[in-house]
A and B are shown apart, each in its own frame.
With several copies, the nearest count.
Chain A
Amino acid sequence: MAKKKKIAAEVIAQDVIAEGIMDLRLKTDLAEDANPGQFIGIYPKNKSTLLPRPISICGYDKNEGTLRIVYRIAGSGTAEFALYRPGNHVDILGILGNGFPTDKAQGKRVLIIGGGIGVPPLLGLAKELKEGLGENFAEDITMVMGYRNSETFLADEFRNYGNLFIATEDGSVGTKGNVIDACRENKIEADVIFSCGPMPMLRGVAAYAKEISAKAYISLEERMACGVGACLGCICKTKNVDEHSHVNNARICTDGPVFDADDLEL
């Protein structure tokens, strides 16, 4: 694995793809090391905010050396990022985290479940599982994405990689309800589930995985300071004693963000 770095990346393009949701492309050598489910830390220029913002990698082009991230404007850091224009530079830290264990998908029926701002990292995953150069091709890919309303960002791109179901809170598109409602409604079966989204949804996913006897790999979020495993800020509770920490805590930034749901105390 390549060494982590903090380096300046160049903004190539930035677009609004839904209300308050930005699609940003960066030119950076870090693209070389990117895998689905990993993330980068982005440093705001605002000198009153010193910590990197963890943002998942939504896509990458290793030949062109570009990273794509899709993020929601949530506070002062992301509001600042949204102002960047092509040619601007931004400091990023990466590549961080373990990423999805795509090898578990080989020859399996894969279900990818995303909710809200947990949707973007799954796009890179779907692409890798469908087109990736490794031998990790899934037998087939079903996707369920949950949104608030009809602003179903990235949905069209997901359709390139398999069968997509949508759930919306307001019922404007697909199933009215959450992603688990959509899974049930469509009686979706799978061997392996990959998921990213808010914690209540992930609990639902873990339960659904049990119901359909699938393995679930879920990507977690937590407040981070260092992003590299040093500060112990970002832990999650594990069922067994963690190898590194020797207590029932794993570091989301380095041991995760993706975990086998069976290993976690959710």
Chain B
Amino acid sequence: MNTTVNIAGVTFKNPVMTASGTFGSGMEYSEFVDLNRLGAVVTKGVANVPWPGNPTPRVAEVYGGMLNAIGLQNPGVEVMIERDLPFLKDYDTKVIVNVCGKSTQDYVDVVEKLSDQSGVHMLEINVSCPNVKEGGIAFGQDPKALFEITKEIKKHAKQPIIMKLSPNVTSIAEMAKAAEAAGSDAISLINTITGMKIDIYRKTFAIANKTGGLSGPAIKPVAVRMVYEASHAVNIPVIGMGGIANAEDAIEFMLAGATGVAVGAMNFHDPYATLNVIEGIERYMTEQGIDDINDIIGAVK
């Protein structure tokens, strides 16, 4: 049985990754999950300097999911290089570093600092975080801005890049095409959908930032649709995510066109979720007589 997939020249032992921001740098969940089993660890978004993030409350539960407005708190790329990457090097898994910034220069700074890190296999560029005021999502909601920043980053990146797309757009196909046209090696989607929760007794927003990003099973149908639309619009590989809780969900994304899949908020519900997805995919392949996982990618048209 072959479960390896290839994304932009990088080979993953299986398609299952962690969604950025839901798995720390891998350290926290290594108490639950043998990281060697994962296709890749995708780290929390990192900027050129430490970011303090947003005020609390930063998270709120909603029906079938959660809102978050962490605001990309991160210790900066230097700490990532000194602490997190060495930790991850001991594992036989691929490492994708998620990069955030407020200006094009911010992104370029991080990308350059990571360029000689052999422990970093790919870079995922987060231009779709709805929780920071400047930069972030602005790049991710306009095809022209996305094209420009992708092009600029691509000039400086040594590793293949994955542009991470926002679902908060009219046409995901257009955004996917812009990323591809500018040279992105792959795309990932979806980031969270902007949402809001109001506490009707306290008459306040449940999240200090007012809005937060919606994730979890609630968004899965939107994510599957967008992965389908995006993967039909471009020829670069797609990494799908949004509400994946189990192998059935992951397979749904792959049938829709995803080459890789990531587990996000459901790690919080089930810290073993990534392992369960990997084992469930193998079971499905056996039951369905599928020898090569690549045969199911985009198989439902």
Contact = CB atoms under 8 A, between A and B. Distances in A.
Contacts, number: 109
B132 to A, nearest CB: 13
Interface string B19-31: 0011110001101
Contacts of A231: 21-22, 24, 59, 68, 70, 268
B78 to A, nearest CB: 9
A96 to B, nearest CB: 11
Contact of B31 (A4, A48, A49, A236): A4
Interface in B126-150: none
Contacts of B66: 50-51, 225
Contacts of B59: 51, 223-225, 231, 233-234
B56 A235 contact: yes
Interface stretch (B47-55, B151-159, B162-170): B47-55
B119 interface: no
A249 interface: yes
Contacts of A254: 28
A242 B265 CA distance: 25
Given A6-B32, A48-B64, A247-B75, A232 B271 contact: no
Interface in A215-229: 222-229
B57 interface: yes
B217 A48 contact: yes
Interface string B200-229: 000000000000000011000000000000
A9 to B, nearest CB: 16
A233 B66 CA distance: 11
A161 to B, nearest CB: 33
A169 to B, nearest CB: 19
Given A4-B31, A236-B56, A246-B76, 9 more contacts: A223-B59, A225-B66, A231-B268, A232-B73, A234-B56, A234-B59, A245-B50, A246-B50, A249-B53
Interface of B: 21-24, 28-29, 31-32, 44, 50-53, 56-61, 63-66, 68, 70, 73, 75-76, 79, 216-217, 265-272
27 contacts: A4-B271, A6-B270, A6-B271, A43-B269, A48-B217, A50-B265, A50-B268, A50-B269, A51-B269, A93-B271, A223-B59, A228-B28, A228-B31, A229-B28, A231-B59, A232-B21, A232-B53, A232-B73, A233-B56, A233-B70, A234-B59, A235-B53, A235-B73, A245-B75, A247-B50, A247-B73, A248-B52
